[in-house]
């Protein structure tokens, strides 16, 4: 890794990792290369970027303290606000740099995602993005099958939170890092994609590999609980105003309109880590 990249990565990790996040560098060119031009990031190819994901530890180290702090005024979308707060801390810690933050749920006015999170995770080497095209002679016929990222240490027990773009910092010699193919067989890939698409409520797809750490029972209960009841579950007071209709559930749904004719490259165009009806990260 180039010294400049290593130094920046360390600084960002010093800010985020104690709170249950991980950081992975990549070039904008790697991301743009696998997507149609409509989804390209409008920056020179060698521009440095970092993929940010949350591990199971984020719930206790970041979200719960954030909910109990003064940062959350007013309550609208706890996970969004917590992640935004911590990514904002990165910008404050590096005031000499121009840093553009794109959260995984952000969309353009036409509802096109600003970042396709699973694609970014794959090209950054953070998690392997398993898609229908990765299964030879797949058995699903005309069914739509969404892809899913699997982390080599956490399986599916993680969430992609966004990217940090550093316009003006170009790293043409940064070597690409391939994600670890931890579900290598056709049989296991079929089982993973079927579990993810058809049985996501049982959480089983997240154990496609033996994880180093899973979500706690409290965390699973939190993300399985209707948004309006989540603070009560944690023993916190409810806000006086109605919660925003944009709940944390929306962080993990596919936002690409079904009407788009993107079949040729559809696999790379799913921005989330959970299927459309999934209740949590």
Tell me: the pLDDT tens digits for 150-195? Answer: 999 999 999 999 999 999 999 999 999 999 999 999 999 999 999 9
Higher-pLDDT residue of 207 and 78 is 207
- For the chain, the three-class secondary structure string (H helix, E strand, C coil) is CCHHHHHHHHHHHHHHHHHCEEEEEEEHHHHHHCCCHHHCCCCCCCEEEEEEEECCCHHHHHHHHHHCCCCCCCCCCHHHHHHHHHHHHHHHHCCCCCCEEEECCCECCCCCECCCHHHHHHHCCCCEEECHHHCCCCCCCCCCCCCEEEECCCECCCEEEEEEEEEEEECCCCCCCCCCCCCCCHHHHHHHHHHHHHCHHHCHHHHCCCCCCCCCHHHHHHHHCCHHHHHHHCCCCCCCCCCCCCCHHHHHCCCCCCCCCCHHHHHHHCCCCCCCCCCCC
Residue range 80-91, pLDDT digits in tens: 889 999 999 999
248 pLDDT above the threshold of 70: no
When pLDDT is averaged across residues 107-115 and rounded to a whole number, the result is: 95
pLDDT at residue 226, rounded to an integer = 84
Confidence (pLDDT) at 238: 57
pLDDT value at residue 236: 64
- Convert the pLDDT of each residue in 200-224 to its tens digit: 989 999 999 999 999 999 899 888 8
What is the pLDDT at residue 237?
A: 59
Q: What is the mean pLDDT of the chain?
A: 85
């Amino acid at each position: 890794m180039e010294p400049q990249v290593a130094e920046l990565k360390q600084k960002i990790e010093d800010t985020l990792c104690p709170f249950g996040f991980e950081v992975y560098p990549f070039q904008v060119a790697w991301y743009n290369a696998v997507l149609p031009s409509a989804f390209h990031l409008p920056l020179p190819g060698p521009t440095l970027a970092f993929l940010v994901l949350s591990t199971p530890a984020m719930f206790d180290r970041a979200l719960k303290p954030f909910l109990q702090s003064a940062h959350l005024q007013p309550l609208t979308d706890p996970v969004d606000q917590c992640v935004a707060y911590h990514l904002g801390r990165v910008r404050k810690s590096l005031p000499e740099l121009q840093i553009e933050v794109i959260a995984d749920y952000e969309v353009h006015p036409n509802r096109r995602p600003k970042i396709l999170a699973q694609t970014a995770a794959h090209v950054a080497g953070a998690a392997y993005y398993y898609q229908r095209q990765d299964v030879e002679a797949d058995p699903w016929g005309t069914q739509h099958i969404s892809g899913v990222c699997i982390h080599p240490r956490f399986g599916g027990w993680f969430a992609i939170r966004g990217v940090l773009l550093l316009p003006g910092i170009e790293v043409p010699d940064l070597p690409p890092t391939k994600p670890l193919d931890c579900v290598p067989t056709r049989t296991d890939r079929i089982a993973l994609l079927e579990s993810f698409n058809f049985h996501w409520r049982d959480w089983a797809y997240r154990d496609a590999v033996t994880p180093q750490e899973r979500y706690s029972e409290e965390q699973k209960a939190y993300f399985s609980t209707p948004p309006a009841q989540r603070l009560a579950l944690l023993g916190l007071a409810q806000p006086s105003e109605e919660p925003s209709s944009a709940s944390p559930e929306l962080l993990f749904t596919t936002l690409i309109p079904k009407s788009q004719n993107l079949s040729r490259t559809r696999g790379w165009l799913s921005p989330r880590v959970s299927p459309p009806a999934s209740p949590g990260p």
